[in-house]
A and B are shown apart, each in its own frame.
Chain A
Amino acid sequence: MAEIVRSRPGRLARLFPYRVRVEPRLKEVPRWYVLMLSALSVLVALLIGAGVIAIAGGDPWRSYAHIARASFGSLGVFSDTMVKAIPLMLVGLACSLAFRMRLWNIGAEGQFFIGAFGASAVVLIPILPAEAPRWLFIITMIVFGMACGALWGFIPGYLKAKFNVNEIISTLMLNYIAVAWNNFFIFAVWTEGGFQMSRIFPQNAWLPRLTDFSAQFPIFRGLTTHFGLVLALLVAVVVWLILYRSQWGYEIRLLGDNPNAARYAGISTGRNIILVMMLSGAIAGLAGMSEISGVVHRLQGAISPGYGFTGIIVAWLAKLNPFAVIFVSILFGALILAGREIQPSGVPKMIQGIILVCLIASDFFMRYRITLVRRGEEK
């Protein structure tokens, strides 16, 4: 083996008589370590974000204190946080499913918009008469929203399976197309009196909200958290069951971890690409439906502050675990809710970006062990 040349230690070495040693980990890291690492990266990200806000002339601590107060300060604002978190949960689940197969569905934003379109079509074409019962309305809107989202996921899935078209770019391009498609209907077809929005939906096309039950439970008065939360929790369970308790999920995970092994095992890559993209699109479409039917109650242009993209970060921070997605979504819901009033207005987006960068950088510590070795003591 190479001998360590002993020379007179330099000035730096006397000040800091250690050497950083990096070696690959041979064992899986424990769970608490993953959690700690994620929490630390978020913390580091917030610190970096504070620096940038300060450079841009804002007051970082006031901004952060405001975010905390305006999103968790009372039951009312917490309910609003949940409203923002619901679409994030669904989109995060959609992304988690696709990412587990290393299928980069960046098109959740477009699938969200098209899902919203599909749900609105039920009311606005109209597919159901305005006096149809509420349960029928909601089920039909869910079906249409999910079907439209699935179609929007099918296109890139099919292109990838058939022509090996890069899904990152095709899903992204479909985002822009989806927005233009919705705008056409908002401006030209379903416009209400020339405004860039459709007419408001009849009450029986609204998802039930907590405040609807304030007669029985006075504490719910004014709370806007809607039935979409139940849908999101349901989908989380379903995605978890699919991924970890079904044969299909095993195929998805195997294709993600080792596509060659999966192919040798006779698992059809193309079919799974299309199916996963469709299911992922359907879940993102459901997010659009729940936002339209639970919050906006009409089709309009500004229905998403980038839920589809934030969902990507949510999925990543949750390490693609469906139940973790639920909790991470609440944190990001808070960021989106409170971020609306923060100046400069790009802050939530920037913090999301910094969090993702720190998170990915932190993965290094999961694969490598970094130790300080005292100089001269190394073997």
Chain B
Amino acid sequence: MDLIIVLQAGVATGTVLLFATLGEILAERAGVLNLGVEGMMLFGAMSAFSIAVRTGNPWLGILVAMLAAGLISQIHAFITIQLQADQVVSGLSLNFLAVGVSLVLGEGLSKAGTVSLMTSYDIPLLNLIPIIGPVFFTNQKLLVYIGYVLFPLVWYYINHTRPGLHLRAVGEYPAAADTLGVNVYRLRYLYVFVGGLLAGLAGATISLAVSPGWFSELTTAGQGWIAIGLVIFAQWDPLRAAFGSYAFGALRRLVLDIQGPMTLFGYANPFYYNPYWGFFLQMLPYAFTIIVLVIGSREAVRKRLGAPAALGLPYIRGARGL
């Protein structure tokens, strides 16, 4: 087993988590917790694959996936922002809805055909850097490179631009933002939509680039939930989110690949000879998410960091409180 190859594939897997996590960070920074990420991703994965199979154009598939997930996210936006319902319950219901609709519309899609593999690229010069070059800049899909550009951009946008300031204000102290003429409702709708777009992109990345195909609920296999966990671990910071996503991607890959070779570092590979241990390997990403949550939550308490102050609270103009 070539560790470099595993890490290289891990970065691609991590890109999925990265997109979803960034989207959720933007929505939560605006004060809207959207637990429907898993469902939106599945909806995106289904739409992307379905369009790509029919038209043969993966980029059209990605576009449709993003719009589809963005649109379905607006149900949650409407229910929580307009109707002021509980964000936890509404997010869960969006999740059920999106999963259900994906399964219905994706019926028979697994046998509908295949999509041609998206082309992989090397980045000249950068791919010559030892270790980093082959892991990050060799033989990766364009989507992966988009990820590298996206997370610093999102970080810069949130922390160093005026719209980013408005975004943070809406999530921390919407009443103050409102008095200054920021349209709290419109911005919250907008960022839930952006979160949906990115979740759709994450789903499309799975079904078109990372593990092409439609495998009903197994397509996403809980990655949306892991992304929500990563948001907490990342303390709502896109840079930490990138670190977490790629690390998790590598872990997911490692868990899959470690069972393949007969020897590991010159020793007999116990996972090869005991294939049933694979079930314990399967648990690892999920167990790790819990561990990462413990770390993130402890750190938040210690450093007095935390969620955006208005996260989960509906904004009612003229009401007391936040």
Listed in ascending order, the chain A residues whose CB lies under 8 Å from chain B are 52-53, 55-56, 104, 106, 159, 163-166, 168-170, 172-174, 176-177, 180-181, 183-184, 187-188, 309, 312-313, 316, 343-347, 349-354, 356-357, 359-361, 363-364, 367
Contacts and interface: CB of A to CB of B under 8 A. Distances in A.
B93 A356 contact: yes
B280 A180 contact: yes
Contact of A53 (B102, B104, B300): B104
B290 interface: yes
B276 A188 contact: yes
B125 interface: no
Contacts, number: 149
B238 interface: no
A56 B83 contact: no
A159 B290 contact: yes
Interface in B86-118: 86, 88-90, 92-108
**Size category, B interface:** 35 or more
B96 A349 contact: yes
Contact of B222 (A164, A165, A168, A176): A176
A101 to B, nearest CB: 13
Given A183-B279, A184-B276, A361-B83, A350 B100 contact: yes
B103 A349 contact: yes
Contact of B286 (A165, A173, A363): A173
A346 B103 contact: yes
Interface in B16-52: 35
Interface string B261-302: 000000000000000100110110011011001100110110
A180 B93 CA distance: 25
B276 A344 contact: no
B99 A349 contact: yes
B294 A106 contact: no
Contact of A184 (B35, B99, B105, B280): B280
Given A52-B101, A168-B35, A361-B83, 11 more contacts: A56-B107, A163-B297, A166-B297, A174-B290, A177-B283, A180-B279, A344-B104, A347-B100, A359-B93, A361-B78, A367-B84
A359 B35 CA distance: 17
B229 interface: yes
Interface centre among A169, A354, A361, A363 (most CB of B within 10 A): A169
A362 to B, nearest CB: 9
B228 interface: yes
